[in-house]
Structure 1
Amino acid sequence: MSTFDPDALECLAAIVEEGGFERAAQRLSITQSAVSQRLRALEAQVGTVLIVRSRPLKATAAGQLLLKHTKMLRLLRADLARDLQELAPSSLRGAREEERISIAINADSIATWALPALTELAQQGLPMEIITDDQDFTQEWLREGHVLGCVTTLKQALRGCKVVPLGAMDYVAVATPAFARERLAGSTPGGAALLTAHNFRDLSFVAFNRKDDMQREFVGQAFGLARVTLRQLFVPSSEGQVRAVLAGWGVSVVPRLLVQGLLDQGLLVNVAPACSLPIQLYWHCWNLSSEVLDALTAALKQSSAQSLVS
């Protein structure tokens, strides 16, 4: 098998990760013409097209294989840097931009337990890139070779990967006390301001984005409904969803970890206290012998054990 030029491989990765030739050139500190030349040389060596010139740019199947190979090379270099750090403590901190270790994590985990898990590694100088997506879709980033690992709701391991259970994140339905009094009071015996099977259609639910089915899943499970249609507003940020609820936009189903302090302060109320939705999370990563992957796995396991429901 031919030996591929590491600079050409990183050029391919930069084009895909940055979404274009101009930004790839800026990242690599070379001209756009040099980026094109490196890509053409790599495509000539492989014997096929590696990039689809679409909007946005996409890697072909062969390009994805080379991207995965490039990520593995980065991982090897990161492992070497960790080993060298014992002899030269500044070695990790000198990592180049293209040495980033990419992982995909759902936004709710980023907003609650995942960043504390990775803090020590970041402080050690591990050059991480966290990609966020819906928890049901983060595995696609791993499948396509864009990341080394992901936090996802999917249990089945991909070929060549291992999976580690992390625990369950508990979701609750919240609103402001004023919203609950005005929109929900009187809908139950005794006039309690609660979400019910009879009033949820009259409310706005604040969801993360159009891929987010958390709101529908919660309502369906709470009231035994097979199909649920909701009036939804979209705020693509876990913290933003909570701020929208605090501003009186409507109800939202969010992680208990994210809103427990606001519930304790009385700034939010649980409008379905008899219901909660536990979502099981898993860490998937390449099944390789790697100190970096082992460190990431151990850090996520430790933090999740302290924060998530077992």
Structure 2
Amino acid sequence: MRDLDPANLDCLAALADEGSFERAAQRLAVTQSAVSQRLRSLEAGVGAPLVVRARPLRLTEPGKVLLRFARQWHAMRADLARELGAGLSVQERLPIAVNADSLATWVLPALDALVQEGQERGWSLELVVDDQDFTHEWLRQGAVLGCVSTVEQALRGCQVLPLGMMRYAAVASPGFVQRWLPQGLTRGNFAQVPFLVFNRKDDMQTQWVARAFSVREPRLRECHVPASEAYLRAVEMGWGVGVLPELQAREAIARGSLQVLHPEVTVPVALYWHQWQLQTPADTPGGRLALLNRVGSALAAGARNALGPDGGGPATRRRAQRGGRSPR
């Protein structure tokens, strides 16, 4: 493999971020032909194709490996510039991946002070949202520098920090219960009752039913609502039974727009913060490693404050549970 040109690495990162040659060219302020030429040069040096030219384009496996190197190179280059007093680029951003339910509940308050500071100092967080069993794939591919995930084992070249436990409960609106569940939700009727599902990756509802009724691989009537806030609203409107974080459902339960079904059964989900171990001085002012460490510390503090010792928030009582995890 020949020496890698930093401009070519910038090109690969732009293609990965923007998803097309046209937008990558606009980001780099060059022509599309220049982007194509840089990519061909990089592929020739590596000896393998790096992107699949589709709409949107996607990286090959060698491309993902090289993108991780490109991200780390960019981070070290930025930290070196700071250490030498070259200042901070207004384009500086720190991409991290989080799951939708955490974003809808505790992540934004946890990161608020850090984001406000970053706006003043010229850097920003970029939040990428995916299911919590899949956010680590963004980290593995090099698309983000850190992620909130259910994966406990640290990825190669990364460090991991436990964040805490989120607990999920089954809830429904009083009107839905009156219409569909006058005798309650039971082993005999769950298959006929509508359940709201976040997306096709989401198996939280089947996990909850399996725990509640000791049923293997239950089949449910599903209605998909792929956004955390809209999902909560749909449950309140009576679209179906929802399985929500206790932290998210707490206010609706308190005001009576939702009620808990089988409150003795919840699904606990352990969350972890993963981040790259960048080989740069940790005490570089504003350096990416220092910023990543601060993001991790802020998320850990925010999770402790929001989730409490039992995963449902300070006001949620402890309940005896069985183990499990969720992809949402």
Following superposition of structure 1 onto structure 2, how do residues 109-120 of structure 1 map, counting pairs within 5 Å?
Answer: 109-120=102-113
Following superposition of structure 1 onto structure 2, how do residues 261-280 of structure 1 map, counting pairs within 5 Å?
Answer: 261-280=251-270
C-alpha change, 1:82 and 1:114, in structure 2 (3 Å) is farther
Aligned to 1:65: 65
Displacement of 1:247: 2.0
Check the 8 A contact 1:166/1:308 in 2, yes or no. Answer: no
Check the 8 A contact 1:106/1:135 in 2, yes or no. Answer: yes
Aligned to 2:49: 49
Measured in 2, the distance between the counterparts of 1:80 and 1:114 equals 30
Displacement of 1:132: 1.1
| SS of residue paired to 1:122 | helix
Following superposition of structure 1 onto structure 2, how do residues 142-291 of structure 1 map, counting pairs within 5 Å?
Answer: 142-185=139-182, 187=183, 194-288=184-278, 290-291=289-290
| SS of residue paired to 1:156 | coil
Measured in 1, the distance between the counterparts of 2:52 and 2:134 equals 22
Over residues 161-192 of structure 1, what are the superposed CA-to-partner deviations in whole Å (9 max), with x where a residue is unaligned?
2211111101111111111111111x2xxxxx
Displacement of 1:80: 5.3
Check the 8 A contact 1:170/1:309 in 2, yes or no. Answer: no
| SS of residue paired to 1:16 | helix
Displacement of 1:275: 1.5
Measured in 2, the distance between the counterparts of 1:288 and 1:8 equals 21
| SS of residue paired to 2:66 | helix
Aligned to 2:136: 139
Measured in 1, the distance between the counterparts of 2:237 and 2:78 equals 44
Aligned to 1:295: 294
Over residues 145-169 of structure 1, what are the superposed CA-to-partner deviations in whole Å (9 max), with x where a residue is unaligned?
2221211112122222221111110
Aligned to 2:304: 305
Query: How many residues get paired?
Result: 296
Displacement of 1:54: 3.2
Check the 8 A contact 2:163/2:272 in 1, yes or no. Answer: yes
Displacement of 1:82: 7.0
Displacement of 1:83: 6.2
Displacement of 1:77: 4.6
Identity of aligned residues (%): 51
Displacement of 1:271: 2.0
Displacement of 1:20: 1.2
Q: Which runs of 5+ in 2 are unaligned?
A: 280-288, 310-328
Check the 8 A contact 2:76/2:278 in 1, yes or no. Answer: no
Query: What RMSD, in angstroms, separates the aligned Cα atoms of the two structures?
Result: 2.1
Q: Which amino acid aligns with 1:152?
A: S
Displacement of 1:198: 2.1
Measured in 1, the distance between the counterparts of 2:109 and 2:195 equals 29
C-alpha change, 1:220 and 1:60, in structure 2 (3 Å) is same
Measured in 1, the distance between the counterparts of 2:23 and 2:266 equals 44
Q: Which amino acid aligns with 2:226?
A: P
Measured in 2, the distance between the counterparts of 1:124 and 1:2 equals 41
Over residues 88-134 of structure 1, what are the superposed CA-to-partner deviations in whole Å (9 max), with x where a residue is unaligned?
9xx55x421xx432211111011111122222222122322211111
Measured in 1, the distance between the counterparts of 2:302 and 2:82 equals 22
Q: Which amino acid aligns with 2:302?
A: S
Check the 8 A contact 1:25/1:35 in 2, yes or no. Answer: yes
Measured in 2, the distance between the counterparts of 1:79 and 1:296 equals 16
Measured in 2, the distance between the counterparts of 1:223 and 1:198 equals 9
C-alpha change, 1:34 and 1:278, in structure 2 (3 Å) is same
Measured in 1, the distance between the counterparts of 2:69 and 2:267 equals 39
| SS of residue paired to 1:288 | coil
Displacement of 1:5: 2.8
Q: Which amino acid aligns with 1:199?
A: N
User: TM-score normalized by structure 2?
Assistant: 0.83
Q: Which amino acid aligns with 1:204?
A: P
Check the 8 A contact 1:75/1:292 in 2, yes or no. Answer: no
Q: Which piece of structure 1 moves more, 166-175 or 153-162? A: 153-162
Q: Which amino acid aligns with 1:105?
A: V
